[in-house]
Each structure stands twice: as structure tokens, then as C-alpha cells.
Structure 1
Amino acid sequence: MLAKRIIPCLDVKDGRVVKGVNFVNLRDAGDPVELAALYDREGADELVFLDISASNEGRATMVEVVKQTAGEISIPFTVGGGISQVEDMKRILRAGADKIGVNTAAVLNPELISDGARRFGSQCIVVAIDAKYSEELKDWEVYTHGGRKATGMSAIKWAQDAESRGAGEILLTSMDADGTKDGFDLSLTKAISRAVGIPVIASGGAGKVSHFYDVLTEGEADAALAATIFHYKEIAIPDLKKDLISRGVEIR
């Protein structure tokens, strides 16, 4: 069994890290390069950067942030947000990222997954899925455009499709749990983890140490990602890892 991973997430807007609740009410959380270097020193296994600036200026800023970050850290990092073609992937990888996260663009054009995997290898392609439970569908539904647009697609089926097209990993965010600090969505995470053979990173809802234990064991996730609790020093990564190891979870 692969050792589990702890991954801080940095939502970057106009060159700064921001954080909100249920995808809204953003507030400043610091400098991305400084935070990345801190998390590297604290023992994070990887990092995820999500560029939530929609403009072209946001793209240029992000390439600069990626370059600066790559020079400061030794752990792998994934960059997502606004990547809609293979050339975008190439630009971000050349700036120093290890993996590329695709979300809306992959739903609109699933060939992007296959093209990216062929060009750079499956290990480079992370498909991010934002999902919310739909009473109507009696299933988790995929949302795009930063959680603003419902697609009518089943998150489980989409994860399987992404895997078959060459995705190397799924970054799964529960929109119901995001920013609430009430715990990860264990039902959703387990359902996706059991539906695919590639690693699943659980995101959305971390509030205390026990939530990480729950999602890595009961939720069957391969990695757990969080933002708010790390940025605002509510949980320190060394303490979190120590606790998980003491409970028998094999950590990187």
C-alpha cells in the first residue's frame, strides 16, 4: 500500500494566497512563495497551487509564482487553474511545476486529458473534480467554472472516464464540505476511491486532526489536502503527521 500524503493547497489570486468558505468570501492568506517554502520545511509531502485569477494577467502572474516557488522547495507541486490546452501545460511545467491540474477545461474537452498524458505522462496529469450531492440525481454531480456551473454529470462516472483517458490522479473536492471544517465528505471520497485505480486526493472540510485520520482510513483516500487550517496555523503539519503515525497510518 502506498504511504499516505498530506498536501497543503494554495488558492492564488493576483499573486496572493486567498481562502473562502464554500467557494466564496475570499480573504488574504499570505505570499504563495513564502507559504510554499514554510510547508516544505514543515514536512508537507506535496503542494497544490490553484490559480483562481481568470484573466490573462493572472496567467502571467502564475508562471512567475511557479518559477519563484520551484526555486524555494524540494517537494513536488501541482498547478491548476485556467489550463485549457497542452501549450498551457507545457508553460507551467517548464516554469517548474511537477504536475498539472485540469478541471473545467477537461470536462469541456476530455481529449485534453489524453493529449496531456500522451505528451507528458500520466503521472503529470491530475484531474480535479468539484462535486456536490444532488437529491435529484441521487448521486454526486460534477460542477465546473469554480463551482458555479452544474453539469448533470456523475462524479463517479467522470472519475472513471478521466482515469481511462490517462489521468494519473484525482483531486476530489466536496463542495458540500469545503471550508466548513466539519470533516471531509467520507461517503463521496470512499465512492470515488473504490471506483478508480489511481490515487485520490481528498479535499474540502478539514477542521481537526481526526478528520485526516478518518478520510485516510474510512474514506480510503490516498492523500488529504487542506488550506485554511494550515494557512492560519490551526494545525501544524509535523503535529498532524505525528498523530497519524501514532494511530498506525503510514505516512510519507
Structure 2
Amino acid sequence: MSENNRLKIVIVGGVAGGASAATRARRMNEQAEITLFEKDEFVSFANCGLPYYIGGEIKERKKLLVATPEFLHKRFRLDVRTKHEVTAVNRTSKTVSVRNLQSGEEFEQPYDKLILSTGASPFVPPIEGVEASNVLTLRNIPDTDIIKELVDRDSIKNVLVVGAGFIGLEMVEQFIGLGLTTTLVELQPQVLPLLDKEMAKPLEDELRQKDVALFLGDGIQEIVCDE
């Protein structure tokens, strides 16, 4: 098959979903040109492991990196481009507009098949004080590095976690293990709102036994920081 006739697959987003789609596409088509764009530095990292690295259960940062761009290229012949942001999808011309975040270069990348796997972003409520430097979110490796540095240099004693979903509870668990005074706030009337109340109740009891200050059915109105 000539190079011009090869199926061109473009994937936007290179973490769990995007990297899995790319490797699966390669297994299904050995000749396709597969290009993966990721606007951050890292691809295919262990999202679920981030709290456990912060808390020290995962000792080495490299354990979070499931696959590197170099590995994906060598093993699956994928064209992985980190720090490249897709800014537009042009359906008529079947191209995506891409910006190289390091050089500033902008270009059009053609595709026959397009897979969007951009992931999610933490919901940050629009409240006063949320822009303070000690108000943090946890989504990716850079977020993890910031929180890990604060924990390791023993510069924090009290933490407040907003949101009692899976990641929020995992962070609470790790903060407890680090000996930090921990508060958990959840807008819904229970932790893990997707569960039945009867299933969530033992978790709430355990949190209180661990001296977590638990505020359920309550939200944050304002953040006041002494910086």
C-alpha cells in the first residue's frame, strides 16, 4: 500500500483512553498512520496511582508512567506528539488545527478517522478565593508534583478536600496516613454519592473514627487565605 493510501488516524488525548485506542488501532491495522496529540508532557500515566504516590505508598514517580512516547513509537509505530494542542476540528477538510506549545508553530493535520479522548477536568466552583496559590486540583502528573513537594517538605499541617468521590476519598486516606489534620466537604448528603446510602454509611463512620472532620450536604461559599 502506498503511503498516500494509508489510513490516517488522528487521536486527540494521550492518557488512558487515547493511548489504549492508539495501540488497539495499530493491532487492527498494521499499515495505518496513527498520530496521537497530547497537550501535556506525559502520556499513558496511571491516573489512579496519583494519590498513592503523594502519600508515599508508590515510592517512585516513574512507576506512574505506564508508557513513554518513545516506547509507544518503538513498540507500536505511533507518532506521539506531546505538548501539542489541537485547537480546532475542521470536518469539511478533515483536518485538525494543531499548535506546538513549545515552538508556537501551528499546522493542519489531515485525518481519515478522528478519535477524541481529551479526558476530564476537575470542576472548580466559581467562588471567591479559588485562585489562591494553596488551592490545588489533582488531575495529572504536574498537579501531583506540586502537591507531593508540599507534603514532602512538611510545609502543610491542615488540609481540606472538597468532593467525596473516589479521588477525594483516596486523597483523604493518604493525608490521614501522613498525619495531617483533614477535613472533607461534600455538597451531597453522603460520601460517594453514586452509592446507596446504606453502602456509604460505613465509610462515613470509618472517616469519623479516623478523626476526619466531615461536612456533608454542605458546600464551600468562600475561601479565605492568609498568604
**Do they fold alike, i.e. is TM over 0.5?**
no
Quick check: which has more Rg, 1 or 2?
2
* Structure in which a larger fraction of residues adopt helix: 1
Higher relative strand content: 1
